[in-house]
Amino acid sequence: MGKEVISLLFLNLSYRDMDMKHPFHYAAMASALTLMLGACATGDVDTATTGPIVASSGSVTQAQCSRWNGGEVSVNVSKAFSDGELIRDFYSGQETTVRNGKVALTPAADSEGLLLLERVDSKESGFSWDNANVYFVITDRFENGDPSNDNSYGRKPDGVNEIGTFHGGDLKGLTNKLDHIASLGTNAIWVTAPYEQVHGWTGGGIRGDFKHYAYHGYYAMDYTTMDANMGTEEDFRTFVDAAHERGIRVVMDIVMNHPGYATLQDMQEFKFGKMRATVKSTEEVLGVEEHWTDWEPPKGKNYHYFNRYINYESSEWGNWWGPAWVRAGIAGYDSPGESEQKMSLAYLPDFKTESSYESGLPNFYKNKPDTKAVEIPGYTVRQYLVKWLSDWVREYGVDGFRIDTAKHVEMDAWADLKSAGVEALAEWKANNPDKKLDDLPFWTTGEVWGHGVNKSGYFSRGGFDSIINFTYQTEDADKAMRCFSNAESTFQRYANKINGDTQFNVLSYLSSHDTRLFFHKDAKNDVTTYKRIAAPFLLLPGAVQVYYGDETARPFGVTGSDKHQGTRSDMNWDQIVDERAELLAHWQKVGQFRKRHYAIGAGSHEQISDAPYAFARYAGDDAVVVVFAGQPE
């Protein structure tokens, strides 16, 4: 397999670096790589890419949106509120009494023509995952709280565009910004995996035009230790406790399908793999004297070029994870299969989570003195991974997992992880009664590429509480941004499907690290246009996921030959004080209204007026009315 597996280990053609999220079979990949090999050697790698498998509504002809002249708006609210009740517009703070079933109020000038109506004596209805407002943050790109850990393990900036390098964000920085996150009505925060990632870089993008480190947390090396770029164990404990103090649950991103790529630095540091030349002359071959990771491509070549130096047929690859742990297609390892569960996703080594054989610890852990992994007689690959991941719950009180690449691991494995998480969180809460927020069980949501608002076997067989909804961004958001009342069909459909089943929920998003930034792609970088999507999105039935910077129209970043890298730009803190201040205030107001009312995400939906467009949401004693007077003239 020597030639075919070059990309398996080193080419950074991950689904996060290319638009290749959906699987392709190894047999086809191998033949394609044979053709690619010559291009790899010359640095002229190119390949066909495909997009996410999601339905698209295509171009939508929009009805003309009603206009609002800034005056008072009257609406019949008798479906939700009784005569004599004192009602407040949460957005503006105005209060009025229901008379003859109606109220009349003037929307705030900066509200986009909205009234967010609630009873004056209503109290926050409490937390439920059914109404979750989840803030997803790539920790490294958010806030640098401790510059001393920026270059951990010898990681370095590239001094050029810093597309795929670590930018310095860490757990201390995240903790420092929790008040900002809480101000958005956030009640759960999804953070990138804090456990240790591969130390070195791989070639980034389809052209290998930048160094790509594991800043996003998807290239695991050791699940038992904290990645030093993120901070310390105490930093993570402080972060979780501080989030809980603000009523924010912590959801940790995890991967159980694959570890990270091999890198030059890790090969050298942990003594696995081999160069084509003898070890004695490796420095001469690479052109570096001491640290292999300092290698730079010769003029006219790219960061994939070093693959030509690697001997994939060497038995010394057995010192890596070991054939009991992964499929990799190199000497001594099984080749990936053609099924979803046994394929090599984006050339990454594939964990044998289906194996019933005792695996022992990964072989390179013998040369990793800081690992906390302890060999457990009889344990399989799946059992080790489940234990290591659930230990983060047991130790720190993590409230849930966002599960990556769910379709590429057996349902039984996810059910095992869910059971372990439930047990671990219950144990943590029993041991920390003064820190727990509630007695809710452990929660999971999964990434199943292309999944929409439909119930699938991931709920009944995999134990998932929620699945990420890929269809809102592509099918519904644009028409709602053009006119709020266009969201009615989406609101009704979502409420009927999601809230009619207590065992079903989805997590809808507007922007994503694996698709696009809505501000950049759909709103065309126009803040005025973009502001109009906040309310239709935040008032969706079901749970919602705000991607960091959605609230501040974070600009698209430098991206190189990988269009997804631009979606992971640094948080635009410097813009909040001026041109983004009004936008942020709008997101805060609508998000806080959602948090106050369980009925918004989990209630029944009923349109109560055409002109002005208005709807009510009901759940138990909780009721709200949302009115859209029209777009401001």
From the candidates 170, 209, 269, 447, which is the catalytic residue? 447
In order, the DSSP letters of 561-618 are T-TTGGGGPPP-GGGTTTTTHHHHHHHHHHHHHHHH-HHHHHSEEEEEETTTEEEEEE
Instruction: Provide the b/e sequence for 237-250 (b: ≥16 CB within 10 Å).
Output: ebbbebbbeebbbb
CB atoms within 10 A of CB 521: 16
Helix, strand, coil percentages for the chain (3-state, nearest 5): 35, 15, 50
Answer for the pair 185, 595: CB distance below 8 angstroms, yes or no. yes
In one-letter notation, the amino acid at residue 156 is: K
CB atoms within 10 A of CB 71: 8
CB atoms within 10 A of CB 538: 26
Answer for the pair 385, 344: CB distance below 8 angstroms, yes or no. no
Q: Is omega for the bond preceding 612 within 30 degrees of 0, making it cis?
A: yes
**Cα angle, residue 369 at apex, residues 364 and 374 outer, rounded to 5°:** 75
* CA–CA distance, 573 with 570 (Å, rounded to integer): 9
Catalytic (active site) residue 447: yes
From the candidates 170, 404, 475, 550, which is the catalytic residue? 404
Instruction: State the virtual CA torsion across 418, 422, 428, 433 in degrees, nearest 10.
Output: 150
Answer for the pair 19, 521: CB distance below 8 angstroms, yes or no. no
**Residue 590: phi, psi to the nearest 5?**
-70, -40
Catalytic (active site) residue 313: no
Closest listed residue to residue 391, CA positions, set 192, 170, 236, 270: 236
Catalytic residue numbers read: 404, 447
